């Protein structure tokens, strides 16, 4: 009997590729918000991006290790590292969310102000630019901010990484395929 989770591509061999694609997608979305919607990131946003860069690097190393025939235990280690990295990202994003909700104080690196670049960029290169404050979200969707969505996504990616690390590899055997054919 197949369970719904058995259909997911979450095993220690395949997960690093999906983790890399997830990290790349999150970074692409962050850069799209910055460059197309002109939403400048605050210092905590940059920390969250650095975590995705780190998880992407771990995932690439895991992909190449698998390609070179890494043993299952090493692949589980890569998935565990990805899980720790994603949970660290969830922690930073949760902290950022609590700062936005004014529950926790913003770190000293978060300044008040807003960054808006307009006109001739070459003239503005020598001038000081204001850094957006970490406690003033610049974007909402259904009442949630980017930091809120990032915390949720990082939790899902972290849980998937742990699931992949602890899940045994699924292999179809001739007996299983024959039994399934007879049952149909």
CATH number, domain containing residue 75: 1.20.1550
Q: What angle do CA 150, 41, 106 make, to 5 degrees?
A: 80
- Residue pair 15/159 in contact (Cβ under 8 Å)? The answer is no
State how far the Cα of 102 lies from the Cα of 3, in Å rounded to an integer: 42
DSSP conformation class of 108:
T
Domain presence at residue 106: yes
Report the 10 Å Cβ neighbour count for 61.
Answer: 15
Residue 14 lies in a domain: yes
How do beta strands 140-141 and 144-145 pair?
antiparallel
pLDDT tens by residue, the chain, 184 residues: 556 555 566 776 777 888 899 999 999 998 888 878 777 778 788 888 899 999 999 999 888 888 877 777 787 788 889 999 999 999 999 988 888 888 878 777 776 544 455 556 566 555 555 566 767 767 667 877 888 888 999 999 998 888 888 876 655 555 555 455 555 4
**Residue 181 lies inside a defined structural domain of this protein:** no
Output the pLDDT for position 8.
Answer: 60
- Could you tell me if residue 78 is inside a domain? yes
Q: Answer yes or no: is 17 within a domain.
A: yes
- pLDDT score for 174: 52
Contact 83, 18 (CB under 8 A): no
Domain that holds residue 47: 9-110+148-169
Res 115: pLDDT: 47
115 within a domain of the structure (yes/no): no
**pTM value surpassing 0.85:** no
* 34 is a domain residue: yes
Give pLDDT, residue 117: 52
Question: DSSP for 1-55?
Answer: ---GGGGS--STTTHHHHHHHHHHHHHHHHHHHHHHS-----HHHHHHHHHHHHH
Q: Identify the sign of the CA torsion 39, 45, 50, 54.
A: negative
Report which of 52, 45, 59, 72 is spatially closest to residue 154, judged by C-alpha positions. 52
Any domain includes 155: yes
Number of domains comprising the chain:
1
- Decide if 44 contacts 107 (C-beta within 8 A): yes
């Amino acid at each position: 009997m197949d369970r719904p989770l058995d259909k997911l591509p979450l095993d220690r061999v395949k997960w690093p590729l999906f983790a890399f694609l997830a990290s790349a997608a999150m970074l692409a979305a962050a850069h799209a918000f910055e460059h197309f919607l002109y939403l400048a990131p605050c210092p905590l946003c940059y920390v969250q991006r650095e975590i995705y860069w780190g998880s992407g690097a771990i995932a690439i190393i895991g992909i190449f290790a698998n390609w070179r025939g890494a043993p299952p235990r090493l692949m589980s280690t890569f998935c565990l590292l990805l899980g720790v990295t994603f949970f660290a990202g969830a922690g930073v994003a949760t902290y950022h969310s609590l700062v936005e909700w004014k529950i926790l104080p913003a770190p000293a690196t978060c300044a008040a102000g807003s960054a808006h670049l307009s006109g001739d960029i070459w003239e503005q290169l020598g001038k000081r630019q204001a850094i957006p404050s970490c406690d003033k979200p610049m974007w909402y969707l259904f009442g949630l901010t980017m930091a809120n969505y990032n915390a949720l996504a990082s939790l899902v990616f972290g849980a998937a990484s742990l699931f992949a690390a602890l899940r045994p590899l699924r292999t179809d055997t001739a007996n299983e395929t024959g039994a399934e054919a007879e049952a149909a």
